[in-house]
Amino acid sequence: MPYWRLSSFYFFFFGSLGALIPYWGLHLKYTGFSPEQIGQLMAILLATKIVSPNVWAWIADHLSRTLPLVRSAAFLAFAIFSLVYFASSYLWVALAMVGFSFFWNAVLPQVETITFHHLGPRAQLYGRIRLWGSLGFILSVLVLGLVIGRYGEASILPAIVLALFALCCSTLVIPEPERTCGVQPALRFRSLIQKPEVLGLLLACLLMQASHAPFYAFFTIYLDEYGYAEEAIGSLWAFGVICEIAIFYFMHKVHRYVSLVSALLFSFVVTALRWVLIALFAESVVVVAFAQSLHAITFGVYHASALQLIRKAFPGPYQHRGIALYGSISFGIGGAVGSLYSGYVWAGAGPAMTYFVAAGVAVLAALLVFLVIRPPHQQATMQRARNADAARG
């Protein structure tokens, strides 16, 4: 298993994300965009994820090799984002975001599938590879926070472009996995989607990302308005991801004792708590730091559990499209809807109310998981499977 070559991709992909997500809104504010426009531009960044991963997954299913697709998409994302250097209007930036995100959003789902192909029966070790993405995110956030503190917001755009170039280079070392099966009829894929528990899972993931949107779009701006220094903001972002790394490292052990759905439900409840703390106590660095530590659960536990559930829901030849659908519905539709509502609520009712709304969305996701997917049922199913294994042994 090519551990280091796969890990290097995650390091540079999430390194580029660490430059883009925490600081892109700050760059837009610096260049004169309003909160509504920032919310719209962040929504564009995510809305293309509704279509893009599914288009690229369909193409990947009809190719004998996936990596040329990944490398081409990474290069085009880098090239199109570079056009923002010449942006002089909202429309220009919006068009650049559409083109950039169409290709950028195609990269990760394909590499996730490649990674699971390489892992094979050791899929539970995914977290050991994914944690390098968290390390890349931390390094990017910290370094760029220091750079902004010294050179100002004008340094954000070139830093993101440089990070995207590094991502292009990282795709060159990923090895192509062996393809073990061909394309299957789409009818069965549709039948998988129509299962109530699968629909419930996808909708819950959508709500989770809609809940996170005010955090990704406005958290840096929020702390900046409370007087936090750029270095402190970067450190708080990094601290959350450091906590996430520990969870990724040990998640395979957690899943031995806690069902995937129970872990998912717990992450939704903790997410609601996190946003309430940020809404009420933003002036307290101690409380904000504690809220950031919960990122280990609201992202680490959530993503590791959700991705494993998606893999189980879409087995074998359907994983390309299953993971792409997960990205489209959650990060795409959920992220876009969340960015839009957060921009308008932020401008109309203020930051605190925006985070209260986000907490309410997380509670809805928790209720959906509890009522539709039913953790106790899954736990009983897991116990029956263990008993059957013991009987066969």
Q: Which amino acid is at 138?
A: I
Q: Phi and psi dihedrals of 32, rounded to 5?
A: 105, 10
308 near 264, Cβ under 8 Å?
no
pLDDT at 248 over 80: no
**CA 64, CA 384: separation in Å to the nearest integer?**
39
- Measured in whole angstroms, the distance separating CA 177 from the mean position of its chain's CA atoms is 24
Angle at 283 between CA 280 and CA 287, to 5 degrees: 70
pLDDT the model gives residue 218: 86
pTM higher than the cut 0.75: no
**CA 263, CA 327: separation in Å to the nearest integer?**
19
What would the two tokens of residue 105 be?
A: 């959003």
Task: Pick the closest to residue 235 from 292, 280, 287, 273 (CA basis).
Answer: 292
**CA atoms within 13 A of residue 295's CA, in its CB half-sphere:** 22
Burial profile 311-327: b = 16 or more Cβ within 10 angstroms, e = fewer: bebbeebbbbbbbbbbb
Quickly state the pLDDT bin for 164 (edges 50, 70, 90): very high
**Residue 194 φ/ψ region, left for φ over 0, alpha for ψ in the -120 to 50 degree band, beta for the rest:** alpha
**CA 145, CA 129: separation in Å to the nearest integer?**
25
- Condensed to tens digits (0 to 9), the pLDDT of residues 362-382 reads 999 999 988 887 644 444 444
pLDDT at 57 over 80: no
Q: What is the mean pLDDT of residues 337-347?
A: 88
Task: Pick the closest to residue 318 from 107, 116, 47 (CA basis).
Answer: 116
- Among 133-137, 206-210, 365-369, whose mean pLDDT is lowest? 133-137
- Considering the four listed CATH numbers 1.10.1760.20, 2.60.120.1360, 1.10.1060.10, 1.20.1250.20, the one that applies to the domain covering 3-174+185-392 is 1.20.1250.20
pLDDT at 78 over 90: yes
**CA 47, CA 40: separation in Å to the nearest integer?**
10
- Condensed to tens digits (0 to 9), the pLDDT of residues 111-129 reads 887 887 787 777 667 778 8
Q: What is the mean pLDDT of residues 255-261?
A: 80
* pLDDT, mean over the chain: 84
pLDDT at 142 over 90: no
Among 38-52, 179-193, 231-245, name the most confident range: 231-245
- Measured in whole angstroms, the distance separating CA 290 from the mean position of its chain's CA atoms is 21
pLDDT at 163 over 90: yes
18 near 159, Cβ under 8 Å?
no
- Condensed to tens digits (0 to 9), the pLDDT of residues 300-336 reads 899 888 888 888 888 766 777 787 788 888 887 888 8
Q: Which amino acid is at 315?
A: P
307 vs 385, residue with greater confidence: 307
